[in-house]
Amino acid sequence: MFDNLSDRLRLTLAGLTGRGRVTEADVDTAMREVRLALLEADVNFKVVKDFIARVRERAIGAEILSSLTAGQQVVKIVHEELTELLSKGDRTFRLQGSPAVVALVGLQGSGKTTSAAKLAKHVTKLGRQPLLVAADPYRPAAADQLETLGKQLGIAVYRAPAGTKVVDIVTDGIAHAKRIGRDVVILDTAGRLTVDEVLMAEIADVATIAKPAETLLVVDAMTGQQAVEVAQVFAATVPLTGLILTKIDGDARGGAALSIGAVTGLGVKFLGTGEKTDALEVFYPDRLSGRILGMGDVMTLVERAQENFDAKQAAKLEDSLKKGRFTLEDMLASMQQMQKMGPMGQIMSMIPGLGGMAKEAQDAVDRGELKRVEAIILSMTPRERRDPAVLNGSRKRRIAAGSGTTLPDVNRLVKQFGEMQKLMKQFSGAGGRRAATQALLNRR
């Protein structure tokens, strides 16, 4: 979502860091470019005006302009102010009550049902036992979808008989949670195509009955400033405690994500970063601003690696390196682990200095290059994977035919693997084995 904005900001700020001293005119020129980049990204114009004014005021201080590292300091100021912009509102996620009730509200199509399932999975990681409640009696498909997601995750779902009123669904759902020993209730409430009085009255009734610890508005970040307007209307009528921004992995301009907190005063608590049930991230302003400016997001990368860490696979890989071996089987296992961490573009954007390569990496995945490599390796015999030296012309032609690729594709992979194997052997000494293992795992 932030690709275009990131590219513009990185290019503009690189013009400052690539020189020695920086003048006030240099700062003004850079700020004009930053202003245009933010406006083109659909950030609220008042938010942009305030942001640029704060950055400029700090950047033209005498101690900054006289510094030999003025360019880096201006970038630091932009990062700090962007983090501050994203930090508006209370972002604490509270699970108070017995059971703790979390109500998800919003318009139809914003992603409430999927977000409810994702949030339930997040809650289980906190050591809690959630119950999902299908509190939308008007759209049977919503309850069906919630039940399907609940089965996939192994999380209980409460669904009332057809014709049950919303307030009764909520009351019965909370009572059911107490009976079966669930300590968190997540309400997937009804939505409308547009904001109307009936919807608001219904949500108000739910709030009165359930007394939720959290009432989170789910908004589609792809809708741009319309998302901000929807949030303002809901905030004026319903006692909201925060926001969930969905479809952050989309190709919209991203302005809503940057300005919604500043405009509404509501804290963004979670980001929906994909369609899978684990594609929900706790919102950290400093991490997102780092990604946008190409500074990376090491903490989120580490957390994802830990979630997908396979200790047995890591031990096997380290053992191979100790013995000076690195095979195509090791390479395949490393690739498969990497794919579990999420889209390649997202992963690359989290590595400091590689943010500009994120789009290229994702384009490579979209072209099917990783799948092609995987298909080639899987078309080999176990012996060929362990010892590529046996690959003669006839074997390579067989592998190409079996994987649906070409002979040049197979030759290219074998050559790339040979280079990687040499690198691994350089690390295979006592001092480098652990570093090599970590380096390879980080390639995920």
Residues 247-256 pLDDT 10s:
887 666 667 7
- Checking if the pLDDT of 111 tops 70, the result is yes
- Checking if the pLDDT of 396 tops 60, the result is yes
- Checking if the pLDDT of 269 tops 80, the result is yes
- Checking if the pLDDT of 134 tops 90, the result is yes
Q: Give the integer Cα–Cα distance in Å for 3 and 253.
A: 8
Tell me what the mean pLDDT of segment 74-78 comes to.
83
The CA-atom distances, in angstroms, between 352 and each of 148, 305, 373, 419 are 38, 16, 26, 24
Q: Is the C-alpha dihedral spanning 24, 25, 30, 35 positive or negative?
A: positive
Tell me what the mean pLDDT of segment 129-154 comes to.
91
Report residue 320's pLDDT band, with 50, 70 and 90 as the boundaries: low
Yes or no: say if 254 and 41 are a contact pair by the CB < 8 Å rule. yes
Give the strand pairing for 268-272 and 214-220.
unpaired
Tell me what the mean pLDDT of segment 359-363 comes to.
52
| pLDDT score, position 422 | 74
- 362 or 111: whose pLDDT is higher? 111
| pLDDT score, position 294 | 64
Sort 386 into a burial class: Cβ within 10 Å, 0-12 / 13-18 / 19+: middle
All structural domains of the chain, each given as residue ranges with its CATH number in brackets, are 3-86 (1.20.120.140), 100-292 (3.40.50.300), 303-442 (1.10.260.30)
Yes or no: say if 213 and 97 are a contact pair by the CB < 8 Å rule. yes
Nearest to 277 by CA among 155, 180, 359: 155
| pLDDT score, position 299 | 53
- 443 or 94: whose pLDDT is higher? 94
- Checking if the pLDDT of 89 tops 90, the result is no
Please state which of the ranges 13-22, 179-188, 344-353, 367-376 shows the lowest mean pLDDT.
344-353
- Checking if the pLDDT of 399 tops 90, the result is yes
pLDDT digits (tens, 9 = 90+) for 18-57: 666 778 888 888 889 889 888 888 888 888 999 999 988 8
| pLDDT score, position 65 | 66
| pLDDT score, position 311 | 58
Task: Give the position of tokens 């942009």.
Answer: 48
Give one DSSP letter per residue of 184-201, joined into a string: EEEEEE---SS--HHHHH
Structure tokens at 386: 């362990």
Whole-number average pLDDT of the chain: 80
